[in-house]
Amino acid sequence: MAFIPHTAADVEAMLGAIGVGSIEELFDEIPEKLRIGSLAGVPPALNEQQVGRLMSERARADGTLLNFIGAGAYEHHIPAAVWAITTRGEFYSAYTPYQAEASQGTLQLIYEFQSMMARLTGMHVANASLYDGASATAEACLMAVRANRKSRAARILVPSTLHPHYRRVALNTTHNQGLQFEELPYEAAGGVLSVARLARYAGTDVTALVIAQPNFFGCLEDVDALTDFAHAHNMLVIAVVNPTTLALLKPPGEWGQRGADIAVGEGQPLGVPLSSGGPYFGFMTARQEHVRQMPGRIVGRTLDVAGKSGFTLTLQAREQHIRRAKATSNICTNQGLLVTAATIYMALMGPQGLARVAAAAHARTRELVSALTRLPGVRSAFAGPHFHEAVLLLDRPVAPVLQGLAARGIAGGLDLAAFYPELGPALLVCATETKTQDDLERYRTCLGELMQAARAA
């Protein structure tokens, strides 16, 4: 909130009304050993003017880096109208719309969001929404176990080229529920899954196959062949996709002969700023036959007694969300504000605008890779098509290079050493439509100077 409106007298009156002597008594259920006696590291209180000045000084100290990092969160241009509308009071303060008669505006917006996401992914139904792409992936794995009646193994095949954070979140979310994850290696030359390597799973009980498109390296998988193999062996297919790329790439609902069964991803590229890592939102869409297994909110459209359109939460009772024993998930809220921004963004951009953004981002990344790989000591890690980002191999450790670029005002990419040490000195780079030719040339020049200086040392 912009300010704290309660005076000491207000607080005392409220405590008296509920029969409590102090605010501390409201937390008496917390064991004493878990409480902090004091906040020694917190500085003295500041007034509003002092706080404003302090935060402005810190913001200036941070500066603004020229950003070439993707890795799951992407810097796209967001039209000013998106957040001007999103932060209007009727959207900004809206809660989960359990009372349809008082929440038609919020319900209609969520319904429009679901419709847009279903169309974008080529799937039948969508929910609204999940915390982020990582938790959406975890929920999709749990959903697949419930939905695949032909499998009893609770066994999920996960490519090592799925986002490392997604893999960790999925494991941490589900490991106490008996799910087994088996990691699939990628082909060294192409950075993608090989259908031939899946042959050893033929005839075994596997619940689902996860397919990332594009994968964490930015490489494009053979989604048709992978999907058809999975379905031929009674596996469900969980697609993990970047929504921006779907403006150009084949949507999950059209993969192979039958399409994916569940599609999830991170919605941040759809009008949500980077914001130091969040809040973001996850999306989930699925085939119609799996709708009863979907977690989260689902809004439906109907007609009232007067024949006018109306919107309401459907297919699930409220207990689905708040009673642990009866819920398909323990998700108890949604990312409604971010969903609002995404809906407005998609409505403003339209199919053609989304396609232009995707095409421009792809073109900038191709130009960046072409420029950087002309430098001595820099080469592409993988052959084959890629989208949105790519992996480069350097002839020296990546971390010092990134430090040198940062000193020149450039966030040069992600060092993959902690996630894929087998690649050696590997750098994941990304360029979106926000980058100009001058930006690309600045990166190339600075990287070239750093590489040359290191060789001369």
Alpha-carbon span 170 to 342, nearest angstrom: 24
- Using the predicted structure, report yes or no on whether residue 120 has a pLDDT greater than 60: yes
What pLDDT score was predicted for residue 2?
56
What pLDDT score was predicted for residue 324?
61
- Using the predicted structure, report yes or no on whether residue 434 has a pLDDT greater than 50: yes
pTM recorded for the entire structure: 0.89
Q: What is the C-alpha radius of gyration for the chain, rounded to an integer number of angstroms?
A: 25
Alpha-carbon span 142 to 292, nearest angstrom: 13
What pLDDT score was predicted for residue 319?
53
3-state secondary structure of 212: strand
pLDDT (tens digit per residue) in 77-112: 999 999 999 999 888 877 778 788 888 999 999 999
- Using the predicted structure, report yes or no on whether residue 232 has a pLDDT greater than 80: yes
Place 320 in a pLDDT band, splitting at 50, 70 and 90: low
What pLDDT score was predicted for residue 1?
45
Alpha-carbon span 42 to 39, nearest angstrom: 6
pLDDT (tens digit per residue) in 15-55: 999 999 999 899 889 998 888 878 888 888 888 889 889 99
Mean pLDDT of 125-137: 93
φ, ψ of residue 239 to 5 degrees: the values are -90, 130
Say which residues have a Cβ less than 8 Å from residue 151's Cβ, sequence separation at least 6.
Answer: 145, 205, 206, 207, 208, 234, 235
Closest by CA to 268, choosing from 295, 242, 240, 299, is 242
What pLDDT score was predicted for residue 211?
98
pLDDT (tens digit per residue) in 134-147: 999 999 999 999 99
What pLDDT score was predicted for residue 318?
59
Peptide linkage before 97 cis (omega within 30 of 0): no
CA distances from 9 to 5, 15, 116, 387 (A): 11, 10, 49, 59
Please, what is the Cα angle at 202 between 200 and 208, to 5 degrees?
100
Which position has the higher pLDDT, 93 or 389? 389
- Using the predicted structure, report yes or no on whether residue 256 has a pLDDT greater than 50: yes
Alpha-carbon span 346 to 271, nearest angstrom: 8
What pLDDT score was predicted for residue 22?
92
pLDDT (tens digit per residue) in 280-302: 999 999 999 999 999 888 999 99
Q: Which domains does the chain have, with CATH numbers?
A: 66-76+350-456 (3.90.1150.10), 80-345 (3.40.640.10)
